[in-house]
């Protein structure tokens, strides 16, 4: 007895339409990665949308569909660099973790974010181009406040529990972030990447804040 194989029915090809969310995010990441590389290599003035499109391997019309001007793309790259520090910071330790241990973790993560070569390169361009983008400074300050939110909440919990003596959790968070970033000096002079240099700076800040904030007892 012979059997007849069922006919193979080809699946219809997917029609081209709106990209999926995942495809859209991948495209945006590709564009921003390419823009970052071009801006770092050539500077804002010499960078071109054509070069960025080439680096992202997309048509120029696709790039312009997402970012109408080079200025708009630069602002997005700058804000993305700053928000990457927030991602690196992650979740702040619970209030039950020893203060010295928690401070060491927080300061280390902030230091690594603020001294990353890409972050420093973007911040130097932001400073150089500040006059061209009057709204960028405000956007960067708003993003800095967003970065500090979990740290502010953490310090508020410690203050409420009577574990630290501070007046303003917001000011205290700004002080940690400012000093962890090198208080501006790393924008002018690239920090050494040697682990000993990193450890020395982190430990000096841990000691400073422990002495300033810890309640005796």
Per the listing, tokens 């501070």 go with: 166
At residue 28, does pLDDT exceed 80?
yes
Q: Which residues contact 30 (CB under 8 A, 6 or more apart)?
A: 56, 57, 58
pLDDT at site 15: 43
Backbone φ, ψ for residue 46 (5° rounding): -85, -15
Mean pLDDT, residues 35-47: 92
Which structure tokens are listed for 127? 């400073």
Domains within the chain, CATH numbers bracketed: 21-68 (1.10.10.60), 75-213 (1.10.357.10)
Classify 43 as helix, strand or coil. Answer: helix
Q: Are 106 and 216 in contact (CB under 8 A)?
A: no
Rounded distance between C-alpha atoms, residue 119 and residue 93, angstroms: 24
Per residue in 142-164, pLDDT (tens digit) is 777 777 888 898 899 999 988 89
CB-CB contact of 53 with 62 (8 Å): yes
Sign of CA dihedral 170, 173, 179, 184: negative
pTM of the model: 0.78
Q: Which pLDDT score, from 0 to 100, does residue 8 have?
A: 46
- Predicted local confidence at residue 30, as pLDDT: 94
For 183, which DSSP code? T
Amino acid 103: pLDDT: 92
């Amino acid at each position: 007895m012979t059997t007849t194989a069922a006919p193979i029915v080809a699946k219809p090809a997917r029609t081209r339409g709106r990209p999926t969310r995942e495809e859209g995010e991948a495209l945006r990441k590709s564009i921003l990665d390419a823009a970052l590389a071009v801006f770092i290599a050539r500077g804002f003035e010499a960078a071109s949308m054509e070069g960025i499109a080439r680096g992202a391997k997309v048509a120029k019309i696709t790039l312009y569909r997402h970012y109408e001007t080079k200025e708009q793309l630069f602002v997005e790259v700058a804000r993305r660099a700053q928000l990457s520090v927030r991602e690196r910071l992650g979740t702040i330790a619970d209030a039950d973790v020893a203060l010295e241990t928690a401070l060491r973790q927080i300061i280390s993560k902030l230091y690594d974010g603020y001294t990353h070569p890409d972050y420093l390169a973007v911040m130097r361009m932001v400073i150089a181009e500040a006059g061209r983008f009057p709204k960028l400074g405000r956007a960067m300050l708003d993003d800095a406040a967003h970065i500090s939110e979990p740290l502010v909440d953490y310090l508020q919990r410690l203050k409420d529990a009577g574990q630290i003596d501070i007046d303003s959790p917001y000011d205290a968070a700004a002080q940690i972030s400012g000093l962890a970033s090198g208080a501006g000096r790393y924008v002018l002079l690239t920090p050494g990447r040697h682990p000993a240099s990193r450890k020395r700076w982190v430990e000096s800040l841990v000691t400073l804040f422990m002495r300033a904030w810890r309640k005796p007892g």
